[in-house]
Amino acid sequence: MRHMRRDLLLFCSAIGINYAMGNLSAFAAPAAGEEHKPVSSRHKSGSATEGSVLGANPQAEEISVKAAGRHADGTSNTTPGGGLMPKQTAPRSQSGVTRDFIAKQAPTGNISSMIANLPGVVYANQSPLATAGDNITMRGMNQSQIGYLFEGAPLADPINYEPYTAMLVDTENLGSVTVSQGSPDLNAPTFNAVGGQISATAMNPSHKYGGFINLMGGNKSANKEFLRLDTGDIGKTGIRGFMSFSHQSNNNWRGPGGLKRYHVDAKFLKEWGDGNSVTAVFGYNRQEQTPFRSPTAAQWKQWGEGLSYSDHYTPGDANYYKLQLSNLNSLDVVVPTHFTLAHGLKLRVTPYFVHQYGPAVGGENIPASGGTFGTQVYGDLNQPYVTNGKITTVAVDPWNQKVGAVNTSLDWTSGHNTLSGGYWYSYAMHEEHSTFATVDFSGKAANSYGAYGIRVPGGALLSGYNLNFMQQTNALYIADTLKLLNDRLTLSAGFRTVMVSRQGTNDVPGADPYKTVRNYFAPLPQVAISYSLTSKDQIYINGTTSFRAPASVQAYSQIFDPNSVGATSQPGNLKGEYGIGEEIGYRHNGTLIHFQVSAFNMNLTNHQVSSTSYIPGTNTLVSMPINVGGETIRGIQGEFGLKPWHHVSPYVSAQYLHATTDNNLPVSATNAAGQSVIDYLPTAGKTMVATPHVTASVGLAYDDNKRFFGNFSLRYISSQFSSFMNDQRMPGYVLSDITLGYRLPHVPHLNGPKIQLNLVNVGNNLYRSAPASFVTSTQSRTGIYGNTTKAGSPIYLVGGNFAALVSLSTGF
């Protein structure tokens, strides 16, 4: 449980009064990443019960609320490493961040950007404000292979697995984030988490009426206005909650255009009795942004960060920035409930609903006549504003997705043994019907998006794809945990089965297949052993399995374009990805020093690398999985942090990673007779793409708990290959950020006003932050069977520039 601020006298009084009444449910909740010392058998929402199964609902740091109290922004200056190393006890590699770190970062950040300093995490941004989408890898596996949970629910796209964390929660409300590198919870409602799991929670509402306001401004016209109102305890109902609203906007750091974002968060909580609680979490996001162009290596060498969309329109210019927009809109409702049914018997039920929708739009010139609609050639489109036989259009992708689901689990503890079981059901529907809207000579769409788009002779809407997709997921798990030797030895074993049913249609003429049906079944056993050498030292070993169905709707359907004869992309290899991993680790949670190190090994079959590329001749990006067969991943990671010592908290993390491709990859080739054939290139044993060998982070936090505070962090990412033949790589880079802050003296009617300066990418390092697409080879080669292969050109994300952001905030 978390609270936002506490006066020591009131806190002590509350303890005495509630103890006398025998009612502990009215206690204020500590901040994210912290809990009171146990005073009852009550557990916080999302925390593990005693003897919980392997990896299930990892516990946060447990500390006492100290006399120093808490600040209005939720910080307490108690977490080791300046908020980067809360106490962990799970029998696996696991790290996290708390409010001590989150509150001192730029208020425009998201869940992914908050964990960029943790071991094994590679966060690649396109904007220093962290608003241009997620791109993150852990142990060489990207965000589509990582399970994202918010308040126990998977709010990521359930089909392409993109987390879109900028839509989920304002960082002013973000309580804590826990990262499990390499293995998911056994009872987590995900089926894509071969690369690990990221779990986030919002701060719990305060028991006291009040609020929090934050106003931010910076270069590139960056601004954010945030307001949260806390109800406090509502009469004697036991209910408390908060609601918040924020507005954010900025100009793009590269090229014209910018961002507009409106966001609403709400959380209401009722607790009663022994471990009973009902929480209702609500989120709404409306966001529109001009995307950034992704260059090839040659374009980066020629243009650097200057490659961008046109800032003025001339007829026929499909690269005009106002024709490129990315909309991320969402509505989320999560209702975690916890019940104590009897002594030792606990039930958790989490229903949730997620609605995410676009549109995404991009400029494209299409033939005024003689183009293609699916496999059919259309006649004259009878559109105005034709230039050189082409119509400049806005290609509209109004994707629309709805998910309804419920996750349940039951824990029965008897003596030293805990038996757990659960069931997860999810139903998702996805619609995606691309259309085209004509652009007039001023650069504006002359007709509306959607139903009033361009129609071919005969009346049908011109489209490159008309997708309708349905997915049902059923998962069952059972696990047992036994504690021996005075609870020093913990043995856990569990088994989970995941069943995924998918079917989709493509209503574009000539689509083959018109309908695709796939069913997946995966058995997923896990086992872990943990032993406490002392009260502060723990060793563990585990073996885990994981599964992921192919990502993206496009993996099941053809994509067409009016400029191309035949499909521009074909359905991919539809086998599911399966991982088997082992870890051994040691951690020390001392009075002053926290340290942990682990070694890991993982073997993947049907490893699917997610690649994003433009439809040829367009500004439309599509995501396609590439099945590269087997992969072997080995490495070692560690982190070190100190609790505040003379107001200073250092932190260091590092990882060495060795990931290789196990198979030779198939590739399109041309034989001596000029015919198209399939050949293979010798990629077996090559380093896997997007897997930097070395990553490291250094942090230093200062907080005197009175007036002055500050943070410094430095991250190093070594070079990464973007081709499976290892003939093109992206250079490594170094980034550093600085935070400086001052808490104002007492101001009447205000609680803890402060001013904070965030400097992002100090030194304005210009760099490519990550490969956005991958190719087998960037050179034309002779395949294993003597055929000539084609060369490819991967594209890259460009990192965000320098940003200076000033925030004024206060509680009230």
More confident residue, 572 or 632: 632
Residue 29's pLDDT is 34
Q: Are strands 694-703 and 223-230 parallel, antiparallel or unpaired?
A: unpaired
DSSP 732: P
Q: Predicted confidence band at 54 (pLDDT cuts at 50, 70, 90)?
A: low
More confident residue, 404 or 568: 404
More confident residue, 679 or 570: 679
Q: Does residue 568 have a pLDDT over 90?
A: no
Residue 569's pLDDT is 82
More confident residue, 607 or 742: 742
Q: Quick one: which of 504, 497, 316, 329 has its CA closest to 399?
A: 329
Residue 746's pLDDT is 84
Distance CA 81, CA 70 (A): 18
What confidence tens digit (pLDDT) does each residue in 321-373 have? 999 999 999 999 999 999 999 999 999 999 999 999 999 999 999 999 999 99
Residues 692-698: what's their mean pLDDT? 97
Residue 624's pLDDT is 65
Distance CA 706, CA 742 (A): 9
What is the percentage of the chain residues whose pLDDT exceeds 90? 77
Q: Predicted confidence band at 572 (pLDDT cuts at 50, 70, 90)?
A: confident
Residues 5-32: what's their mean pLDDT? 34
Residue 56's pLDDT is 52
Q: Are strands 196-202 and 147-150 parallel, antiparallel or unpaired?
A: parallel
What confidence tens digit (pLDDT) does each residue in 426-474 have? 999 999 999 999 999 999 886 655 456 899 999 999 999 999 999 999 9
Q: Predicted confidence band at 614 (pLDDT cuts at 50, 70, 90)?
A: low
Phi, psi angle pair for 145, to nearest 5°: -110, 10
Give the lowest-confidence range in 3-17, 153-167, 274-288, 407-421: 3-17
Residue 643's pLDDT is 94
707, two tokens: 């007036």
Q: Does residue 37 have a pLDDT over 50?
A: no
Residues 185-191: what's their mean pLDDT? 92
Average pLDDT, the chain: 88
What is the value of pTM for the model shown? 0.89
Residue 39's pLDDT is 31
In-domain check, residue 559: yes
Residue 574's pLDDT is 79
Q: Predicted confidence band at 184 (pLDDT cuts at 50, 70, 90)?
A: confident
Distance CA 382, CA 365 (A): 15
In-domain check, residue 36: yes
Residue 63's pLDDT is 31
Give the per-residue SS3 of 551-590. Answer: CCHHHCCCECCCCCCCCCECCCCCCCEEEEEEEEEEEEEC
Q: Does residue 14 have a pLDDT over 50?
A: no
Name residue 665's amino acid. L
Domain carrying residue 688: 8-359+398-433+464-811
Q: Does residue 67 have a pLDDT over 60?
A: no
What confidence tens digit (pLDDT) does each residue in 535-564 have? 999 999 999 999 999 888 878 888 999 998
Residue 31's pLDDT is 36
Domain with 195 in it: what CATH number?
2.40.170.20
Q: Quick one: which of 327, 220, 202, 176 has its CA closest to 268?
A: 202
In-domain check, residue 367: no
Residues in the chain, total: 812
DSSP 656: E
In-domain check, residue 607: yes
Angstrom CA distances, 597 to 579, 587, 652, 718, stand at 22, 6, 12, 20
Q: For the sheet with 141-142, list strands across it.
A: 121-123, 136-138, 141-142
The answer to whether residues 122 and 113 touch, using CB atoms and an 8 Å cutoff, is no
Q: Quick one: which of 359, 358, 336, 362 has its CA closest to 349?
A: 336
Give the lowest-confidence range in 566-570, 617-621, 712-716: 617-621
Q: Which residue has the tokens 């609902």?
A: 57
What is the percentage of the chain residues whose pLDDT exceeds 70? 89
Residue 446's pLDDT is 65
Name the β-bridge partners of 687: 660
Name residue 811's amino acid. G
Q: Quick one: which of 728, 639, 578 has its CA closest to 95?
A: 639
In-domain check, residue 372: no
Residue 681's pLDDT is 94
> Looking at the 3D structure of the chain, how many domains does it have?
1
DSSP string, 192-255: --TTEEEEEEEPPPPSSSEEEEEEEEESTT-EEEEEEEE--S-TTS-EEEEEEEEEEEEE-SSS
Give the lowest-confidence range in 52-56, 85-89, 690-694, 775-779: 52-56
Residue 623's pLDDT is 62
Name the β-bridge partners of 651: 641, 699
Q: Predicted confidence band at 684 (pLDDT cuts at 50, 70, 90)?
A: very high
Angstrom CA distances, 285 to 162, 261, 402, 648, stand at 16, 7, 15, 37
What confidence tens digit (pLDDT) does each residue in 227-279 have? 999 999 999 999 999 999 999 999 999 999 999 999 999 999 999 999 899 99
Q: Does residue 602 have a pLDDT over 60?
A: yes
Residues 528-533: what's their mean pLDDT? 97
Q: Predicted confidence band at 60 (pLDDT cuts at 50, 70, 90)?
A: very low
Give the lowest-confidence range in 7-11, 462-466, 656-660, 778-782: 7-11
Distance CA 233, CA 270 (A): 10
**For the stretch 213-245, what's the b/e string if a residue is b when 16 or more beta carbons lie within 10 angstroms of its beta carbon?**
bbebebebebebebebbbbebeeeebbbbbbbb
Residue 133's pLDDT is 72
Angstrom CA distances, 84 to 104, 121, 328, 764, 776, stand at 12, 13, 29, 25, 38
Name residue 148's amino acid. Y
Give the lowest-confidence range in 56-65, 585-594, 770-779: 56-65
Q: Does residue 111 have a pLDDT over 50?
A: yes
Q: Does residue 4 have a pLDDT over 60?
A: no
The answer to whether residues 177 and 151 touch, using CB atoms and an 8 Å cutoff, is no
Residue 33's pLDDT is 35
DSSP 635: E
> Helix, strand, coil proportions of the chain in percent (round to 5)?
5, 50, 45
Q: Predicted confidence band at 301 (pLDDT cuts at 50, 70, 90)?
A: very high
In-domain check, residue 386: no
DSSP H or E run through 355: strand 345-357
In-domain check, residue 641: yes
Residue 70's pLDDT is 78
Report the phi/psi class of residue 787: left, alpha or beta, with left for phi > 0 and alpha for psi in -120 to 50: beta
In-domain check, residue 451: no
The answer to whether residues 490 and 522 touch, using CB atoms and an 8 Å cutoff, is no
Residue 691's pLDDT is 96
